[in-house]
Amino acid sequence: MKKVLALLLAFSLVFSLAACSSKTETSSGSDSELPKIGVTIYKFDDNFMSFVRRAIETKAQGKAELILNDSQNNQATQNEQVDMMIAKGVKALAINLVDPQAAPTIISKAKQADLPVIFFNKEPSEEAMASYDKVWYVGTTSSESGVIQGKLIADAWKEHPEWDKNGDGKIQYVLLKGEPGHPDAEARTKYSVETVVAEGIEVEQLELQTGMWDTVKGKELMDAWLSKHGDAIEFVIANNDAMALGALQSLKANGYFEGDKFMPVVGVDAIPDALEQIKDGLMVGTVLNDAKNQGGATFDLAFNVANGKDPLAGTEWKLDDKKAVRVPYIAITQDNIEVAEEAYK
């Protein structure tokens, strides 16, 4: 009887430990002969990053064992995950930072373990990148997305003089900003509007607040702005498609896109949900932030360095003078929507 009780207690302990284990870690590729690569995403439920993650997982199949972690938008959690992955014997780290200012902490951990690091999507400072010879970055040129979005806005405005509701020749706009301090959010906010002005169009900012890249927050802000400004708003500029989709939800609920009541909305990322809105004529356009190639390049570099090779070995990627692979942005409208659709296959 004592043996039976002991066995029952042992099984109970095993199940208890399993239930208490982290829900933020997953593993793909179980072949012990494959190199282990540790990957963290700042949060799994970010629309765009979910596609980057999928691209990394797709490229890793049969090549590497990934230890994937959801950092749940918490830098302390991410730091702990890096410690855990190092302890598990990963050969390289691929890090989508929660906070770009935390890069020196991650680099310090990697240095101590003599591990290479590929940061992606959130770019560390030049000083951080220069502090370690085994660190690289995969992402974009942040200003480029803002410039392209601004040109898209200017072109559409010139083609539709009826959008100038009060006839004053100015765009009265509201702007949904991403995470404050994020290089992409800062650059898209600055360069989108500056490009519109450079195209000879006057602007007037009615509102600018952060929606933290989030659809729900985008809707809440748009609800408040419509209540305050109503038809005085002539253009909605969003730093990403998720917030643009939230704005669209609000606009639809307030009677827009019925009859001749229209509101131009633009975003960035060209995620599939936004592409459907463009097809239906509800969104003016977006800017393709190529998740497939960002994820692919991240894996390619991480896989090479995990195997002790040059990060670019056997690839077509190129590094700039900041040790970064830059994936280009592309303006997307109804005229070339197939380009964006291809990127998400």
pLDDT band for 28, please (50, 70, 90 cuts). low
Q: Indicate whether 283 belongs to any domain.
A: yes
Provide DSSP, 48-76: HHHHHHHHHHHHHTTT-EEEEEE-TT-HH
Instruction: Give the per-residue pLDDT at 18.
Output: 37
Q: What is the signed CA dihedral for 7, 11, 14, 20, rounded to 10 degrees? A: -140
- Average pLDDT rounded to a whole number, residues 32-55: 93
**Tokens at residue 48, please?**
């765009």
Checking if the pLDDT of 300 tops 60, the result is: yes
Question: Is the same domain home to 121 and 170?
Answer: no
323: phi > 0 → left, psi -120 to 50 → alpha, else beta; which? Answer: left
Number of domains in the chain: 2
Report pLDDT digits (tens) over 208-248: 999 999 999 999 999 999 999 999 999 999 999 999 999 99
Question: Is the same domain home to 41 and 173?
Answer: no
Domain that holds residue 304: 23-140+290-327
Q: Indicate whether 118 belongs to any domain.
A: yes
**Greater pLDDT, 260 or 177:** 177
Provide DSSP, 151-177: HHHHHHHHH-GGG-TT-SSEEEEEEEE
Question: Is the same domain home to 207 and 83?
Answer: no
Which residues face 196 on adjacent strands? Answer: none
Instruction: Give the per-residue pLDDT at 205.
Output: 98
Residue where the block lists tokens 């949904």: 176
Report pLDDT digits (tens) over 252-279: 999 999 999 999 999 999 999 999 999 9
Give φ, ψ of 314 to 5 degrees: 70, 15
Residue 61 belongs to domain with CATH number? 3.40.50.2300
- Average pLDDT rounded to a whole number, residues 18-38: 63
Rounded CA separation 120/117 (Å): 10
Instruction: Give the per-residue pLDDT at 21.
Output: 34
Question: Is the same domain home to 249 and 296?
Answer: no
Q: Indicate whether 176 belongs to any domain.
A: yes
Label each residue of 88-124 as H, E or C.
CCCCEEEECCCCHHHHHHHHHHHHHHCCCEEEECCCC
Q: Are strands 135-139 and 202-210 parallel, antiparallel or unpaired?
A: unpaired
Contact between 218 and 246 under an 8 Å Cβ cutoff? The reply is yes
- Average pLDDT rounded to a whole number, residues 286-310: 97
Rounded CA separation 192/234 (Å): 16
Report pLDDT digits (tens) over 234-244: 999 999 999 99
Instruction: Give the per-residue pLDDT at 247.
Output: 98
Report pLDDT digits (tens) over 74-89: 999 999 999 999 999 9
Q: Are strands 135-139 and 117-120 parallel, antiparallel or unpaired?
A: parallel
Checking if the pLDDT of 30 tops 90, the result is: no
pLDDT band for 319, please (50, 70, 90 cuts). very high
Rounded CA separation 300/317 (Å): 9
**Greater pLDDT, 184 or 27:** 184
Rounded CA separation 71/221 (Å): 26
Question: Is the same domain home to 151 and 272?
Answer: yes
Question: Is the same domain home to 43 and 127?
Answer: yes
Question: Is the same domain home to 154 and 282?
Answer: yes
Rounded CA separation 69/62 (Å): 20
Report pLDDT digits (tens) over 128-146: 999 999 999 999 999 999 9
